[in-house]
Chain A
Amino acid sequence: MSNIPADLRFQKSHEWARLEADGTITIGISDHAQQALGDLVFVEAPEPGRHVNAGEACAVVESVKAASDVYSPVSGEVVAGNADLGGQPELINTDPYGAGWIMRVRPDDKAQFASMLDATAYAAALAAETH
């Protein structure tokens, strides 16, 4: 069973997002996504300063099995990519909601974050996908 923290927001495409105290949004992939992908071997996070649009593929996570795009849930400026993933992509497997974060974005419009799925809605989306 996958872990779905109640304090995060999600997308159907399996990204999670957390609103930080400084107004930025941290983005990663869900526990369900890392389980489905299996062992991660490469992660390509976007460069700070890049402007991304909501729904844009802006990072790539590649496992032994498959490569997968990561879609930004919000439009905004990338303020950081997780440099630790360069040498330790497996952080996404071991700690998808913590040390395995992928990027941080300063949103143009916080309403985009508010409109994401909450944990209950994401759990329902997962259930619909797997049954």
Chain B
Amino acid sequence: MGNTVMGMRTPLFDTHVAAGARTVDFGGWDMPVNYGSQIEEHHAVRRDAGMFDVSHMCVVDLRGDRVRDYLRRLLANDVARLTQPGKALYSCMLRDHGGVIDDLIVYYMNDHWYRMVVNAGTRDKDLDWLRQVAAGYGVAVEPRTDLAMIAVQGPHARAKVAGIIEPTIAKRALEIEPFFGIDTGKLFIARTGYTGEDGFEIMLPAEQAVALWQGLRVVGVAPCGLGARDTLRLEAGMNLYGNDMDETTSPLESGLGWTIAWEPQDRDFIGRGALAAQKAAGDTRKLVGLLVEDRAVLRSHQKVLVAAVGEGEVTSGTFSPTLQRSIGFARVPARTGDRCEVEIRGKLVAARVVRPPFVRNGKVAIAV
């Protein structure tokens, strides 16, 4: 399990190793997968507070007089929905043929500045695409490699963060509404995340990351790795780029139809024509949630069989620490009903088709 090629490292890498983290390659970065039991890390987030080093993700500032027009062309969701400063929007960025280049979050800071966060593994192609489209709009694309990012998640996450930062900033932080971010000068604090729990994602100068991490550690925030991040996001019904969608699938086939802003009809976003044609043709595959009752675990690429309808494939699967059963997502034919079978290690295992999320705010969100 040793790496022959050293990956990129975040400013917190040495801190993770000193804390006993097992690390793995993730999109070219050496990242912690767990610090001990990933199930305990998972429960810490559902019940108290946990933190993730997400400094590998790419923060990009987009600036220019026409930046709004640019993003309305670039993204399948519509930034015109963002009218209050700090408000965030989740969107896909598409190729002309409707395939997903990446999923991302964009914050409206002011009429000349939006801040975007894209995935680590897609960073280079994202930046190429952002710049290619930006040329027509005079928009400056500025990756913020000077910033680190820490996600603090869980029912007690916000209070714990507020307890260790400057009181004037803490007061403002506690007033942030869900899916908003504020720029306090030193810290950019957003009430967003990838776990289905309340919490913050905090961007800060890279050289200050260790101090914030250690400060959170002192107030009992559990360090959590990519292992727990995956089980938490799956329970929360959130897609993972590269698993659940990529350039060969459209948002319509990826459970992300809700992120496409069809209105106004004259907004000509990239990929619109292809999505409209796919929608008109109908019978599009769909991404569904699966719950397995047997003692077997769903994994990516397992074959799904839907009686009298056809076949599909598991895109993400794991064991849910909250449900104590296996859950996953699968891309299946449109006419799939509420049952299917999955081929797991040579056996056909019955699965229920359910509507994610499986868990939200610490509570089971499906009928078990």
Chain A contact residues, CB within 8 Å of chain B: 35-36, 38-39, 41-42, 44, 60, 62-67, 90, 93, 129-131
Q: How far, in whole Å, are A125 and B84 apart by their CA atoms in the complex?
A: 60
Q: How far, in whole Å, are A90 and B38 apart by their CA atoms in the complex?
A: 12
CB distance from A66 to the nearest CB of B (A): 8
Closest A-B pairs by Cβ, 6 of them = A130-B2, A41-B319, A39-B39, A64-B319, A42-B295, A39-B37
B227 contacts chain A at the CB level, 8 A cutoff: yes
State whether A35 touches B22 (Cβ < 8 A). yes
State whether A42 touches B34 (Cβ < 8 A). no
Quick one: given A64-B231, A130-B1, are A38 and B34 in contact (CB under 8 Å)?
yes
Q: How far, in whole Å, are A114 and B296 apart by their CA atoms in the complex?
A: 35
B345 contacts chain A at the CB level, 8 A cutoff: yes
Chain B residues within an 8 Å CB radius of A131? 2
Q: Which residue of chain B lies nearest to A39 when distances are taken between CB atoms in the complex?
A: B39
Quick one: given A60-B345, A93-B37, are A42 and B231 in contact (CB under 8 Å)?
no
B318 contacts chain A at the CB level, 8 A cutoff: yes
Q: How far, in whole Å, are A129 and B2 apart by their CA atoms in the complex?
A: 8
State whether A62 touches B297 (Cβ < 8 A). yes
Q: Which residue of chain A lies nearest to B41 when distances are taken between CB atoms in the complex?
A: A39
Q: Which residue of chain B lies nearest to A93 when distances are taken between CB atoms in the complex?
A: B37
Q: Which residue of chain B lies nearest to A63 when distances are taken between CB atoms in the complex?
A: B319
Q: Which residue in A36, A41, A90, A129 is a CB contact (below 8 Å) of B297?
A: A41
Chain B residues within an 8 Å CB radius of A35? 22
Chain B residues within an 8 Å CB radius of A90? 37
CB distance from A18 to the nearest CB of B (A): 26
Mask of B125-139 contacts with A, CB within 8 angstroms, 1/0: 000000000000000
A and B contact pairs by CB, cutoff 8 A, 20 listed = A36-B1, A38-B33, A38-B34, A38-B38, A38-B227, A41-B319, A42-B295, A42-B296, A44-B295, A62-B319, A64-B227, A64-B231, A64-B319, A64-B321, A65-B227, A67-B345, A93-B37, A130-B1, A130-B2, A131-B2
Chain B residues within an 8 Å CB radius of A63? 319
Chain A residues within an 8 Å CB radius of B319? 41-42, 62-64
Q: Which residue of chain B lies nearest to A86 when distances are taken between CB atoms in the complex?
A: B295
Q: How far, in whole Å, are A66 and B326 apart by their CA atoms in the complex?
A: 12
CB distance from B22 to the nearest CB of A (A): 7
CB distance from A53 to the nearest CB of B (A): 19
Chain A residues within an 8 Å CB radius of B38? 38-39, 64
Q: How far, in whole Å, are A62 and B319 apart by their CA atoms in the complex?
A: 10
Q: How far, in whole Å, are A90 and B40 apart by their CA atoms in the complex?
A: 12
Q: How far, in whole Å, are A41 and B327 apart by their CA atoms in the complex?
A: 13
State whether B297 touches A67 (Cβ < 8 A). yes
* Contact residues of B between 37 and 82, Cβ < 8 Å to A: 37-39
* Contact residues of B between 334 and 368, Cβ < 8 Å to A: 345
Q: How far, in whole Å, are A65 and B319 apart by their CA atoms in the complex?
A: 8
CB distance from B4 to the nearest CB of A (A): 9
CB distance from A90 to the nearest CB of B (A): 8
Q: How far, in whole Å, are A63 and B38 apart by their CA atoms in the complex?
A: 10
Q: How far, in whole Å, are A63 and B299 apart by their CA atoms in the complex?
A: 11
CB distance from B7 to the nearest CB of A (A): 16
Q: A35-B22, A42-B296 are in contact. List 18 more A-B contacts (CB 8 A).
A: A38-B37, A38-B38, A39-B37, A42-B297, A60-B345, A62-B296, A63-B319, A64-B39, A64-B231, A64-B319, A65-B227, A67-B297, A67-B299, A67-B345, A129-B1, A129-B2, A130-B1, A130-B2
Q: How far, in whole Å, are A42 and B76 apart by their CA atoms in the complex?
A: 41
Q: How far, in whole Å, are A48 and B238 apart by their CA atoms in the complex?
A: 43
Chain A residues within an 8 Å CB radius of B39? 39, 64
Q: How far, in whole Å, are A3 and B328 apart by their CA atoms in the complex?
A: 34
Chain B residues within an 8 Å CB radius of A129? 1-2
Q: How far, in whole Å, are A68 and B356 apart by their CA atoms in the complex?
A: 28
Q: Which residue of chain B lies nearest to A36 when distances are taken between CB atoms in the complex?
A: B1
Chain B residues within an 8 Å CB radius of A38? 22, 33-34, 37-38, 227
Q: How far, in whole Å, are A66 and B33 apart by their CA atoms in the complex?
A: 14
Q: Which residue of chain A lies nearest to B225 when distances are taken between CB atoms in the complex?
A: A38
Q: Which residue of chain A lies nearest to B297 when distances are taken between CB atoms in the complex?
A: A62
Q: How far, in whole Å, are A62 and B38 apart by their CA atoms in the complex?
A: 14
Q: How far, in whole Å, are A129 and B1 apart by their CA atoms in the complex?
A: 7
**Which residue, A36, A39, A66, A90, has most C-beta atoms of chain B within 10 A?**
A39
CB distance from A39 to the nearest CB of B (A): 5
Q: Which residue of chain A lies nearest to B24 when distances are taken between CB atoms in the complex?
A: A65
Q: Which residue of chain B lies nearest to A130 when distances are taken between CB atoms in the complex?
A: B2
CB distance from A31 to the nearest CB of B (A): 13
CB distance from A26 to the nearest CB of B (A): 23
